[in-house]
Structure 1
Amino acid sequence: MNARAWQAQSLLLGYPDPVLLERLDLLTQAASTLETAAGAPLLRFIEHARNTPPTQLAADYVATFDQRKRCCLYLTYYAYGDTRNRGMALLKLKQTYAADGLILGDDELSDHLAVVLEYAAAMPARGLAVLNDHRAGLELLRLALHDMRSPWADVLESVSATLPPLRSMSEVAKLAAQGPPEEKVGTYR
């Protein structure tokens, strides 16, 4: 069941282009087969997508995910910021995907949540491990989307419903307070 949820979530977290909008009926059918905790939030978002003019939906997507660091869809950003360590994490993810036959295009970063969810849909056990590795960042993203009353909060609510509960909010609180790490190049300690 999670694989179906992750595939639907992956599509709904992509840029809302005409191809996505054409798939809303299919996504409604898929979301309707999920457990309520994962399916109901997706159905709410799909309804929002149906009732929002496409240009407005696209503008909202850009304003939400491309102009706010708190709402970053690139999961390694939360753990590594824009540091060299993030580059290594991206490479490791890309190698993990390649080992399982998922080859990314040059225009796709391996840590984009839609890509991670697509991988999880294809390789559920390994994909769940990747999602869990980034659980604090996912929770921080979910909370940020809720705080701004973004319709995409429903999609993140659905993602959270497919994951084990957080053991502690302390890592999320620390990440929220400190923000992503910064590069220490040229700094002496």
Structure 2
Amino acid sequence: MKTWIRTPGGRSAPTDAELTAAWQTASLLLGYPDEGLLARRPLLGQAVAALPPSLGEPLGRFLDHLDATPLAQLAADYVATFDHRRRCCLYLTYYAYGDTRKRGMALLRFKHAYRAAGLVLADGELPDHLSVVLEFAATGDRREGRRLLLEHRAGLELLRLALAEAGSPWASVLDAVSATLPPLDGDVREAVARLAAEGPPEEEVGLAPFDAHAGHPALLPEPVVGARK
């Protein structure tokens, strides 16, 4: 006899396997769209079809958009959305710390979490990129990855709301990510409202050696010999 785990609202909570599939799929869909993503489309469709509606339906909506949109247009939309909109930043610590000195310490906490699981970042990418965090949660350390997502839940929700307000197809991917986490409590709702009203802190400083650049972030087992393209 199967024992069902239910959320406070009565909805069955995703299983570990469903969380892994949802996080891995979302990680790929939130990366820069390229031919590699199109090559994975059949596998992504199979994974999404096996998910419960709360996860599968929003991810399926984005896959439908992927099928209907030329790759060049999708790539241009990605850049316009995530590179040119301050409230649509995929780097989670930006929402809490902006470009301040405190953000550098927050980035180190992400790196330490990855190293503890035997993983390091390829390509010199910042460790708080949402694609990286989701990949880590799916394939590295589920519990620690979930903790990182919850620690930055306010920023995650602000990103989701900003994408929805902009009418972005990527809002559906964030809907699925949010559905893998517990319902929002009062404290998180207040934090989201505060971020929406005030924005991230301002204090322009360098974040070396964490210099982000274009490309899809990736996690590799230690040691890293070269960057994955």
Match of 2:219 in 1: none
* C-alpha displacement of 1:108: 1.5
- The answer to whether structure 1 residue 180 and structure 2 residue 206 are counterparts is no
Structure 2 length normalisation: TM-score? 0.79
Correspondent of 2:132 among 97, 108, 115: 115
- The answer to whether structure 1 residue 142 and structure 2 residue 160 are counterparts is yes
* Runs of 4+ off more than 2 Å: none
* C-alpha displacement of 1:149: 0.5
Summarize deviations over 1:2-42 as a string: whole Å, max 9, x none.
01100000000000011011111110110111111011110
Correspondent of 1:23 among 37, 40, 55: 40
Once residues 105 and 85 of structure 1 are traced to their aligned partners in structure 2, the CA distance between those partners, rounded to angstroms, is 23
Correspondent of 1:79 among 87, 91, 96: 96
Once residues 154 and 102 of structure 1 are traced to their aligned partners in structure 2, the CA distance between those partners, rounded to angstroms, is 29
Q: Identity percentage over the alignment?
A: 63
SS across alignment from 2:51: coil
Amino acid at match of 1:141: L
Once residues 126 and 42 of structure 2 are traced to their aligned partners in structure 1, the CA distance between those partners, rounded to angstroms, is 28
Once residues 71 and 47 of structure 2 are traced to their aligned partners in structure 1, the CA distance between those partners, rounded to angstroms, is 22
Once residues 119 and 49 of structure 2 are traced to their aligned partners in structure 1, the CA distance between those partners, rounded to angstroms, is 28
Once residues 107 and 13 of structure 1 are traced to their aligned partners in structure 2, the CA distance between those partners, rounded to angstroms, is 18
Once residues 30 and 91 of structure 1 are traced to their aligned partners in structure 2, the CA distance between those partners, rounded to angstroms, is 32
Q: Given the superposition, is the C-alpha separation of residues 24 and 166 from structure 1 closer, same or farther in structure 2, using an over 3 Å criterion?
A: same
> Do the aligned residues in 1 keep the contact of 2:99 with 2:204 (CA within 8 Å)?
no
Once residues 46 and 136 of structure 2 are traced to their aligned partners in structure 1, the CA distance between those partners, rounded to angstroms, is 21
Query: Would you tell me which structure has more helix in proportion to its own residues?
Result: 1
Summarize deviations over 1:34-82 as a string: whole Å, max 9, x none.
1110111101101101110010000000000011111000000000000
* C-alpha displacement of 1:102: 1.4
Match of 1:67 in 2: 84
Once residues 97 and 106 of structure 1 are traced to their aligned partners in structure 2, the CA distance between those partners, rounded to angstroms, is 15
* C-alpha displacement of 1:107: 2.6
* C-alpha displacement of 1:93: 0.5
5+ long unaligned stretches in structure 2: 1-17, 206-229
Once residues 115 and 58 of structure 1 are traced to their aligned partners in structure 2, the CA distance between those partners, rounded to angstroms, is 19
Structure 1 length normalisation: TM-score? 0.95
> Do the aligned residues in 1 keep the contact of 2:23 with 2:134 (CA within 8 Å)?
yes
SS across alignment from 2:146: helix
Match of 1:5 in 2: 22
* C-alpha displacement of 1:83: 0.6
Once residues 184 and 5 of structure 1 are traced to their aligned partners in structure 2, the CA distance between those partners, rounded to angstroms, is 35
SS across alignment from 2:118: coil
> Do the aligned residues in 1 keep the contact of 2:107 with 2:127 (CA within 8 Å)?
yes
> Do the aligned residues in 1 keep the contact of 2:92 with 2:130 (CA within 8 Å)?
yes
Match of 2:106 in 1: 89
SS across alignment from 1:103: strand
- The answer to whether structure 1 residue 41 and structure 2 residue 61 are counterparts is no
Once residues 33 and 148 of structure 1 are traced to their aligned partners in structure 2, the CA distance between those partners, rounded to angstroms, is 29
| Residue-pair matches, total | 185
Once residues 134 and 182 of structure 1 are traced to their aligned partners in structure 2, the CA distance between those partners, rounded to angstroms, is 18
